[in-house]
Structure 1
Amino acid sequence: MKLKIAIQGIKGAFHEEAAIRAFGENIECLCCQNFPEVIKALDGNEADYAVMAIENTISGTILNNYNLIREGNCEMVGEVFVPIKQYLGAIPGSTLTNLREVRSHYMALNQCRDFFEAFPKIDLVEARDTAFALKEIATLNDPGLAAIGSINAIKEYGLEVLANNIQSNQNNITRFAILGKESEPVFGNKISLSVILQDTPGALANLLTVVHKLKINLTKIVSVPIPDSVFRYRFYLEIVLPSPHIFESSMHEISFYLDDLEILGRYNSSPCPTPKFEQNDNILTPQLI
């Protein structure tokens, strides 16, 4: 029986690629329109696992997705990294010089804005998803329209590549959280945490002192406002333990300086890959087809 994986987007989306990297080809993807629907599908037992983007090397942390994970009945049980290569796709016969509009998810548009500085007459229009934008271009069958997305999506919807490797930064990697049910015990060396510091002088410094003393590697710390409080912040931390065996003692020492501590997940850290390019990709500048 195939595992059912909830993803945001449709066939050809980067979330589908992340799911395949995490679980292999023999899976069934449950396509959701947005991230809250992904959490709802997992919570409602419509899916065995879910895959959700949480940060990108260019766009940074997707804070709202951390909020969704914290509020949902799920936890992080793993992570997977996907090097992102952005392609410009259009219907057969289209050319760059004839384009008037390019559509994609806002993050993909932001990652490729430098490329479009050479084409000031092209309007960049936000869409809900990269793969959805490409599917829409195929349906509209308009040579003046194009979309940004993965090569898999371009092939899936019968489009042609007008330009490849058009992202501004070649180190474009997205990190995806693998989400599972709360009842699944996972024992790894990496922990994702949500904390609220005590409202006292030096609380953050004291917390970091504990992290240093225990030789814990702090790999992420970001803050987000607490809606019902005035200028108080929740911190999302990610730490890598020198040994899984110090989990209980480290959480005990860290909690001493906190008003709230929630463990979003405990899992094995995964190595971040170096982006690889095909021989027909021009690494220094985008390649026009």
Structure 2
Amino acid sequence: MKKVIYQGARGCFSELAAQKYFGTGIKVYGVKSFEDVFETVWQNHGVIGIIPIENSLSGSIHRNYDLLLAYRYWIIGEIKLKITYNLFTNNGARPAMIKEIWSHPATLDQCRTFFNANPRYEPIAVYDSAGAAKLLREKRKKNAAVIAGPQVEKIYGLRTIEKGIEDSPENYTRFLLVNRKKNIYGGEAAKTTVVFGVQNEPGILFRCLSIFALRNIDLTKLESRPNVGRPWEYLFYIDFKGSIKEERCQRALEDLNENLAFVRCLGSYETREDK
């Protein structure tokens, strides 16, 4: 039975994403931080980590890009999950009693329209949206509510008082599955992630990206991160459709390596989308 580790409390979207990807035949475990996810995978051979990497409203989760590089793990899968946020209270609490709303900072950020329309509510940041639901239940507070996914209602016995309060119904998060073991996927739904470093010289990024354009390789994501220890130099993460099992992709990476001092493939993996 596969073991999957995620950041958050029971009922968080990372747990749901793992269940959607693998089905019911897995054991899932929650930890407090993304660093804990990576460290647990490192210490337990065979354990798979699942992490959010990008949200369609709030953008990339930069910390997880940095951790991918630091731990040298392989990306072995991706799933895109639709995100819906509801507002929950303890049973017996009335909406007029609510003064505070608890959730993860990214969740609060994805519900700005709701807070603008309800300025009397004070947003309170906690480490996890599902963790906020757990905390609300434990403290039995009547003057607080939480924003979390619909799944926490049954898990923690809360009451839904408003549904779909995210800024846009087109709200999705991409989750990556990471493992210490290399597992290259070569099917039709393959995507590859590569990170490379460049020196600051005219046209260098254009030349790098041209390597893929000339081979008709579809780039789906470009992300830059500071190159720690080298101020004002950057690492670039790219996602493209295809697998390094394909000759054209192999040739592209060979050309990239010939032009740059640092190139690393983080994996070719299957992409899935929850329907």
TM-score, structure 1 length as denominator? 0.89
CA distance in 2, matches of 1:47, 1:253: 33
- Report the equivalent of 1:176: 175
- Report the equivalent of 1:152: 151
- Report the equivalent of 1:246: 248
Residues 40-97 of structure 1 show CA distances to partners (whole Å, capped at 9, x for unaligned) of 1111116621110000000101111011111114210110011000011110122322
- Report the equivalent of 1:166: 165
What amino acid is the match of 1:140? Answer: K
- Judge conservation of contact 2:34–2:51 (CA < 8 Å) in 1: yes
Distance apart, 1:233 and its partner CA? 0.6
Identity %: 27
Is 1:141 matched with 2:143?
no
Gaps of 5+ in 1: 275-289
CA distance in 2, matches of 1:139, 1:125: 17
Question: Cα RMSD between the aligned structures?
Answer: 1.7
CA distance in 2, matches of 1:12, 1:178: 18
SS in 2 for 1:117: helix
What amino acid is the match of 2:126? Answer: A
Residues 89-134 of structure 1 show CA distances to partners (whole Å, capped at 9, x for unaligned) of 1101223222000000001101112112232121100000011000
SS in 1 for 2:201: coil
SS in 1 for 2:250: helix
- Judge conservation of contact 1:198–1:257 (CA < 8 Å) in 2: no
SS in 1 for 2:117: coil
Aligned positions of 1:4-153 closer than 5 A: 4-45=3-44, 48-153=47-152
- Judge conservation of contact 1:6–1:47 (CA < 8 Å) in 2: no
SS in 1 for 2:92: coil
- Report the equivalent of 1:268: 270
SS in 1 for 2:36: helix
CA distance in 2, matches of 1:55, 1:16: 16
Distance apart, 1:187 and its partner CA? 3.7
- Judge conservation of contact 2:88–2:160 (CA < 8 Å) in 1: yes
What amino acid is the match of 1:101? Answer: E
**Aligned length in residues:** 272
CA distance in 2, matches of 1:73, 1:260: 14
What amino acid is the match of 2:10? Answer: K
What amino acid is the match of 1:80? Answer: I
Gaps of 5+ in 2: none
CA distance in 2, matches of 1:88, 1:27: 29
- Judge conservation of contact 2:184–2:267 (CA < 8 Å) in 1: no
- Report the equivalent of 2:229: 228
Q: 1:104 to 1:89 in 2, by over 3 A?
A: same
- Judge conservation of contact 2:85–2:147 (CA < 8 Å) in 1: yes
Distance apart, 1:268 and its partner CA? 2.5
- Judge conservation of contact 1:192–1:263 (CA < 8 Å) in 2: yes
Q: 1:245 to 1:269 in 2, by over 3 A?
A: farther
Range with greater deviation from structure 2 (33-42 or 251-260)? 251-260
Distance apart, 1:154 and its partner CA? 2.1
SS in 1 for 2:236: strand
- Report the equivalent of 2:212: 211
What amino acid is the match of 2:151? Answer: N
